[in-house]
Amino acid sequence: MNKSIYQRILLKLTGEALLGTYTFGFSREALQHYANQIKEIISLDVQVGIVLGGGNLFRGRAMKDLGVNTITADKIGMLGTVINALAFRDFLIHENIKAVVLAAREMPGIVEGYDQQKAIHYLEKGFVTLFAGGTGNPLVSTDSAASLRAIEINANILLKGTNVDGIYNANPATNPHATLYSHISYDVALQKQLAVMDLAAFSQCRDNKMPIRVFNIFEPDLLKRIMQGESIGTLVSEGE
């Protein structure tokens, strides 16, 4: 199949996904890996929105441990997502992929401010559109920012790229008998408080019927195969 079953997606990546073998910042190898995957799905005529976390640069919990106020720590985290988005944008452009960053708060001379209609316009023009700065508010995770942007741009699906194969009934790192769900409902994910995604994001997607697929972004070609209709990872949607 040379076409995608999805017209428009929102891809959520943790900031740690950019680390590669580093413990801080981002590596060229990691950026190249994701750029290659984005290039593959663009060739299938998919419109791509991306939300990046900032944990490779600043984690709110670590900032709080240093004595930084909770609200200030979250604002520092928001700035980390802007840094990541700018770096990835320039890397995509270097790979001849059209890309733009829209931040929740306008930063004149740095990035454009987010606007729903502007975002949809860029997507329709073929730009990979990176949404930075979370929702613009503290105490809200980038998972919730991803679910919000997915709903606002009318994405067909929210894709959560992680370092595991999907959602398990237990922690696969500590339980060798953990079982991978191929499909799970929003309500079960909330009842079990599965930690792969913020519970507020699960609730938001449930209330707006936004399907979520959780998969291993570190494996090559999986993103393209999902676009082509393969059931990879875990689908979270209505029903059992």
Per-residue pLDDT tens over the stretch 21-50: 899 999 999 999 999 999 999 999 999 999
Please report whether residue 66 resides in a domain.
yes
Please report whether residue 3 resides in a domain.
no
What percent of the chain lies above the pLDDT cut of 70? 98
Strands 157-162 and 8-13: what pairing? parallel
CATH number at residue 221: 3.40.1160.10
Range of the domain at 183: 8-237
What lies within 8 Å, CB to CB, of 38 at 6+ separation is 48, 50, 92, 97, 128
Residue given tokens 């992680």 in the structure block: 162
Per-residue pLDDT tens over the stretch 80-97: 999 999 999 999 999 999
The helix or strand, by DSSP H or E, that contains position 32, with its residue range, turns out to be helix 28-42
The helix or strand, by DSSP H or E, that contains position 86, with its residue range, turns out to be helix 70-94
Record the pTM: 0.94
Distance (Å, whole) CA 8 – CA 116: 14
Question: Structurally, how many domains does the chain consist of?
Answer: 1
What integer is the mean pLDDT of 204-233? 94
Please report whether residue 1 resides in a domain.
no
Please report whether residue 50 resides in a domain.
yes
Please report whether residue 191 resides in a domain.
yes
Among 155, 160, 115, 157, residue whose Cα is nearest residue 141: 160
